[in-house]
Structures are given as C-alpha cells and as structure tokens.
Amino acid sequence: MQPEAKPTLLLTRRLPENVMARARRAYTLVGPEPADLPWPRERLVAALAEACPEAVICAPGDVFDGAAIAAMPRSLRILATFSAGTDHIDLDAAKARGLVVTNTPDVLTEATAELTLALILAAARRLGEGERLVRAGGWQGWTPTQLLGLRVSGKRLGILGMGRIGRALARMARGLRMEVHYHNRRRLDPALEEGAVFHGEAESMLSAIDILALTAPGSDALRHWLNAERIALLPRGAVVVNTGRGSLVDDEALIAALRSGHVAFAGLDVYDGEPALHPGYLALSNVVLLPHLGSATVETRDAMGFRALDNLDAFFAALDPPDRVA
C-alpha cells in the first residue's frame, strides 16, 4: 500500500530548526528555499504560482494584500502566519477567496511583556548610552553626575492596550511597585484588572502617569494615536516605549518631544514602515532602538512555529483550526 501523500507546504521564511524539522516530517515542502528576510512581493507571488502549495506559513513583512491573494493559485487552501498580528494580510480578501487564515496568539505574551519592561528599564536608566560609552572607550571612571537616569520602581505606568501582553506587563511592573493605569476600548473585568486603574479617556491616563507603554495592536483607528496633542498631556520628563505597532506613533511628534526634553527617554522595538525607520531617531541619544525583538526567544519562536503547524494539522484533519482568524 502506498503511503498517503503529505500536504504540500510553502514556507516564506526560514523558521527555527525545531519547527523546520517538524514541518519536514508532516508536510512536503515545496517552492524555493526560504531565507531570513521577506521576498519582494513579486517573487512571493511568483513562488506561489510555481509551487502551487496547499498551505503556506508566512510571517510579518510578507505582503498578502488583496492583489496578492487574488493572484494565489487555486491549490492554496490555508495561510498560517507566524505571528499574533495579521495586519500584513487582507483578511476580507482572504475570506472572499475562501482562504483560511490562522495566527499564533498567546505564546508570545510573556516574551513581549519582558521585552517591554526591558525597554522601560533600558530607556529610563540610559543603558544604551552607557553601553555605547564603554564600547567607544570613552568611560573615564565613576562620577556622581554621569548618565543620570530615572528610577523606575514606584513610578506610575500607563498601558495602551490591556490585552494579554499589557496584562502580563502589568503583573511584572507590580514587582517593581509600579502603579498601573490603562486605557482600553472597554474596561476589563475586575479579576483581570488586578488593581489597575482604568481610564475611559486617553487624556485622563496620560496626565496621570510617568511612563507610557504602547502594547496595542495596529489598526486604522489607532494610527498615530500618540500624536503631538497627546504627548503634550504627558508630564515633562516622561518615558515612552512602544512594542505594539510602529503605526501607533507619530514619529515627527515623538522626535520633537525627545529633542525638547518633554519626553526624556524612549524605547522602540517597532517602527512605522519597518524595517525602515524615521532617520530622526538615529541622531538622538535618548532613545533605545531595537530590531523588533519582542518575541525573540528560543522558547517563544519554537512555540509560535508549533502553533502554526498545529493549525495546519487541524485543518488537514478536517477540523476547525484553533486559531482561525478568517
């Protein structure tokens, strides 16, 4: 008896080796060898047309807009993204095409919350400046006034987006005796708030905090949410960090606030139009810039890949994928 043919799978990116090994066992990999960086849109469309896969695992940066989805071969039945966010996929176009789309929620929560807290500490304590000073050979010894930053313990933390990541960050922040405030579309159940102060209006939260953490997902409604008017409501000397989406921030407004000192320090892991970023940030010493490391731990990236494969396994077993978003 011939063994049952395995479903065909195209990977748009090279995934962690443990994930690649499992994918090879369960699926027939087709298409060009994936690389670390996204293919240009034209090559992505061409690779799909040539390989005619039944499934694809993609990642942020892979453009699956309406035109790309319309050009997909009819063989393609499911698109699993190696991410919690789906803003790189036109979900309405996918639904119209009858394409199932899944994501990888939950598994990156703790890692991204850790990175957010790390950015708060790195920005407020000027760790980037200190590390650069030592590497450049400019450190001449301890002085009472060198690179004075801000103590984080006991400060008032405001969180935009009290989802899984925001709540995990709040739990970590309480270990530093931080007072947690948050703004959401709607108030959480008290059991999920765990004592955090809800602000129905963003303006109320901004004027009540010392540190602002942006952990919300991107959307048209939140584009450039942190603009000049809202920055002006922060107390002078505030700290701003963003691990949500780059589109949440009006870059010109934040750069102006960093230059003036109204925002003392910032930490960014995501950028509007990344991997490009506003060149104005590069000239500022009071901002920590990271290359989208939010979920970058071995454990988390393996879990993300396994979650994507779990969704494919369920689909090809004629079950509803657990993380279906379209």
- Cα 146 from Cα 133, distance rounded (Å): 11
Annotated catalytic residue, options 181, 183, 230, 245: 245
Beta-ladder partners of 241: 213, 267
Report the C-alpha dihedral over residues 300, 301, 303, 309, rounded to 10 degrees: 160
Distance of CA 70 to the CA centre of its chain: 27
- Cα 101 from Cα 93, distance rounded (Å): 11
Annotated catalytic residue, options 274, 278, 299, 301: 274
3-state secondary structure 87-156: CCECHHHHHHHCCEEECCCCCCHHHHHHHHHHHHHHHHCCHHHHHHHHHCCCCCCCCCCCCCCCCCCCCE
Q: Which helix (H) or strand (E) holds 43?
A: helix 41-51
Structure tokens at 13: 């990116």
State yes or no: is 186 an active-site residue: no
**Cβ–Cβ under 8 Å, residues 214 and 248:** yes
For residue 213, which of 308, 91, 123, 320 has the smallest C-alpha distance? 123
State yes or no: is 199 an active-site residue: no
- Using CA atoms, how far residue 81 sits from 101, 114, 121, 131, 224, in Å, is 8, 23, 31, 35, 25
For residue 182, which of 153, 154, 152, 212 has the smallest C-alpha distance? 212
Helix and strand totals (H; E) in the chain: 12, 12
Tell me the catalytic residues: 245, 274, 292
